[in-house]
């Protein structure tokens, strides 16, 4: 078969969503991907729901001009506040966010029904993970912590610097103190997988680390198969990238998240403001 050879559109406020693209490409190597990072307006995590919703709508309009067959919101903040609006605006195009898959994975992982969620300020404030987890299992106790400094540490590529350990200790120690600490930690921001080593060093080996990238990729694969949209004629390694600011910075910092070099010639500068 050739299948539906239109690309899958992936968007994020910046480069963090490349951890999701990485999982998607590994899972679906014969699909085509276009990735948009709204780097001129990042971060979304400290911005209000209305602002993020407006930005996300503009971002998906650009993906539509690329004739995508499915949209992945590879940004927790945008998934948290804009999934519903985007699903309605783009219907019947399937739209998949990262919150639901992450919530499902964490519910599957916990043994003691206590889950910790770390995310940006916007995601925590919106409470989307807590709602998604509660909808799956109302008996689960959820503790949340915004970890805004992690975003900057990840963008600097400080996977295991002393500053990263210190920040992880500051944020995570209180979450896992007390008599029955959570046994599962959701990395509720696409930046955070880069810091997994430092996070693991603080929380110990007994806590399950859940990142939404893998589970989101599984959900995308399922949606493609279910809707007859899959293809085996593409090449996930030849992704086209769009950024709303400096392609040089996108390529340099993006490599940290994608786990492979990005050729700056494959990154196109775009302006979303008129969309």
Q: How far is the CB of 47 from a copy of itself (least distance, A)?
A: 5
Please identify which of the residues 36, 56, 75, 86 carries the catalytic annotation.
75
Q: Cβ closer to a copy of itself: 120 or 215? A: 120
Q: Which of 189, 220, 262, 272 is catalytic?
A: 189
Least separation in angstroms between residue 153's CB and a copy of itself is: 6
Q: What is the C-alpha separation between 13 and 77, in angstroms, rounded?
A: 9
Nearest CB to a copy of itself, comparing residues 161 and 266: 161
User: Minimum CB separation from a copy of itself for residue 98, in Å?
Assistant: 22
Q: How far is the CB of 249 from a copy of itself (least distance, A)?
A: 7
Q: Output 30 or 170, the one with its CB closest to a copy of itself.
A: 170
**How far is the C-alpha of 166 from the C-alpha of 173, rounded, in Å?**
10
Q: Which residues bind a copy of itself (CB under 8 A)?
A: 39-42, 46-48, 51, 121, 148-149, 151-153, 155-156, 158, 161-167, 169-170, 245-246, 249, 273
3-state secondary structure the chain: CCECCCCEEEEECCCCCHHHHHHHHHHCCCCCEEEEECCCCCCCCCCCHHHHHHHHHHHHHHHHHCCCCEEEECCHHHHHHHHHHHHHHHCCCCEECCHHHHHHHHHHHCCCCEEEEEECHHHHHHCHHHHHHHHHCCCCEEEEEECHHHHHHHHCCCCCCHHHHHHHHHHHHHHHCCCCCCCEEEECCCCHHHHHHHHHHHHCCCCEEEEHHHHHHHHHHHHHHHCCCCECCCCHHHCEEEECCCHHHHHHHHHHHHCCCCCHHHEEECCCCCC
Q: At closest approach, how far in Å is the CB of 136 from a copy of itself?
A: 30
The minimum distance between CB 245 and a copy of itself, in angstroms, equals 5
Rounded Cα distance, 77 and 88, in Å: 18
CB atoms within 10 A of CB 35: 31
147 is catalytic: no
Nearer to a copy of itself, 163 or 233 (CB): 163
Of 73 and 272, CB closest to a copy of itself: 272
> Is 189 annotated in the active site?
yes
Residue closer to a copy of itself (CB basis): 48 or 197? 48
Q: Which residues are catalytic?
A: 75, 189
């Amino acid at each position: 078969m050739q299948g539906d050879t239109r690309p899958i559109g992936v968007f994020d406020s910046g480069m963090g969503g490349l951890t999701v693209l990485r999982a998607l490409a590994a899972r679906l190597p014969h699909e085509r991907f276009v990735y948009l990072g709204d780097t001129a307006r990042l971060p979304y995590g400290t911005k209000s729901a209305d602002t993020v919703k407006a930005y996300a709508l503009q971002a998906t309009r650009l993906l539509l001009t690329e004739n995508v067959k499915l949209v992945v919101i590879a940004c927790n903040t945008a998934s948290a506040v804009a999934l519903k609006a985007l699903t309605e605006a783009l219907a019947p195009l399937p739209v998949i966010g990262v919150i639901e898959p992450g919530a499902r994975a964490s519910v599957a992982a916990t043994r003691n029904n206590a889950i910790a969620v770390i995310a940006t300020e916007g995601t925590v404030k919106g409470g989307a993970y807590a709602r998604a987890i509660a909808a799956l299992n109302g008996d689960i106790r959820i503790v949340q912590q915004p970890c805004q400094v992690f975003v900057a540490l990840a963008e600097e590529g400080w996977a295991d610097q002393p500053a990263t350990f210190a920040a992880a200790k500051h944020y995570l120690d209180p979450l896992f103190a007390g008599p029955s600490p959570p046994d599962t930690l959701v990395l509720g921001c696409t930046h955070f997988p880069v810091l997994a080593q430092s996070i693991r060093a603080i929380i110990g080996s007994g806590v399950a680390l859940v990142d939404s990238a893998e589970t989101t990729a599984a959900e995308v694969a399922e949606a493609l198969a279910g809707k007859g949209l899959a293809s085996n004629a593409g090449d996930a390694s030849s992704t086209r990238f769009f950024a709303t600011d400096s392609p040089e910075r996108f390529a340099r910092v993006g490599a940290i998240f994608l786990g492979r070099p990005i050729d700056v010639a494959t990154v196109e500068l775009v302006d979303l403001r008129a969309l």
